[in-house]
Amino acid sequence: MAEDPVQFDDPCDHILYRLLEMDPITGSSDPTTLIDWWQTHRLHTESFTQFLIRQNLLTPTAEALLKIAHKGHFQLESLAELFPNQLAGEFYRRLQTIQTQSTSIGALQKPNSVRQVRQRLPIPREGLTWGDFLLLNSIGSGGSSLVFRALRLVNKELLALKILKPRLLEKDPLWYDHFLTEGLIFREIRHPNLLQILDFGDVDGLPYLAIECIEGVSLQELLRHSGQIAWPKTVRIGRCILEALRELDRHGYVHRDVKPNNVLIARDGTVKLADFGLARPKGLVEKLPEVADKPRWVGTASHVAPENTRGTIHVDARADMYSFGVTLYQMITGHLPFDHDSPREVIRLHQEAVVVPPVQLSVDCPKALSDLIVRLLAKDPNDRFADYDALSHAWAELEDGID
């Protein structure tokens, strides 16, 4: 393999260049043309990776893969199986704009497609033998995926199978890499309070994630059945959610969709935080497309932090703390802190309304727990906890004080 065309200061730059060089599409067009463009147009000491992010050529997910590779969690060859298709797709989708900005990029040829996908894909259904799996029954459906309880035929392992909805892949082949990146990253993160991704792959071109199967209920189902949860159980479940978020934070990620529906409670009482599809590396700032007079956010309107409802998304652990606070509020009071039929009005309430302390709605809620929840729901992220160490310390004092 040839030497890098320049001496990179950022290790991610070196990994990125090697991946470009290995990509049969981008590599064949000589990635040094991108290096030339970067050196001509970068801002001050902007790294190659930072430059491509600013030019919208790298997605946050692609950047996350670089960071994971830099930590040594994956071999370059393993990353190359997923990374180049996503990266090439971003390059070619924006190539027209780039070429009007600079002639240094070189003459790249747009391929017919980044990944060949059949026009119509079979829809997974209950009772179907699908690849190496028998799909037993449907246990959920989200915006992008179908979830089945399934049996792995080779060893009779019971698991949950999260499968990308075929219509999304038919519309945009880049969904393939976007979907499997969740498995690539979070399979390596193991913790008793995080739902474990076991492996990932595809059947007939349709990607899936194989996930540990929890026999139990979601926190949302528990709340629907019981109305509210007694404070000792709220504190115990809350500690488990906190430990899950703290572990994600240690690995450099923010969940971005903490809510009762993504908290699973097994029959033995084990608590697991699930669904990492929206998770992103800490420190990123995303700008959502403008829609006239409408709030813009990522996640769930009822649980989103107010600072992330105006179109600029700050990937910050304190936003997860806010969503955690909303979840605790639901548990101890049986109600959302801000509720309305209109998501737009819910967002306005998150931004402007004063929260009613839980102690005023639940007579058995300890004041210390109520005060902690109110702090988590502060409008200004600087008024929440600075980090998970500070929150964990406050939680330990809460547990000691109300035992």
CB 223 within 8 A of CB 383: no
Q: How many residues does the chain have?
A: 403
Angle at the Cα of 193 (from 273 to 63), degrees rounded to 5? 65
CB 216 within 8 A of CB 265: yes
Q: What are phi and psi of 277, to 5 degrees?
A: -65, -30
Dihedral of alpha carbons 234, 239, 244, 245, sign: positive
Angle at the Cα of 73 (from 68 to 77), degrees rounded to 5? 90
Q: Which residues contact 194 (CB under 8 A, 6 or more apart)?
A: 186, 244, 247, 248, 272, 273
Q: How far apart are CA 63 and CA 41, in angstroms?
A: 20
Q: Which of 13, 177, 249, 257 does the annotation list as catalytic? A: 257
Q: Which residues contact 122 (CB under 8 A, 6 or more apart)?
A: 166, 204, 206
Q: How far apart are CA 144 and CA 131, in angstroms?
A: 20
Count CB-CB contacts under 10 A for residue 101.
Answer: 11
Q: Please spell the DSSP secondary structure of 10-48, one letter per residue.
A: SHHHHHHHHHHHH-TTTGGG-THHHHHHHHHH--TT--H
Active site residue 380: no
Q: Record the tokens describing residue 115, joined without a space.
A: 């990944």
Catalytic amino acids?
A: 257
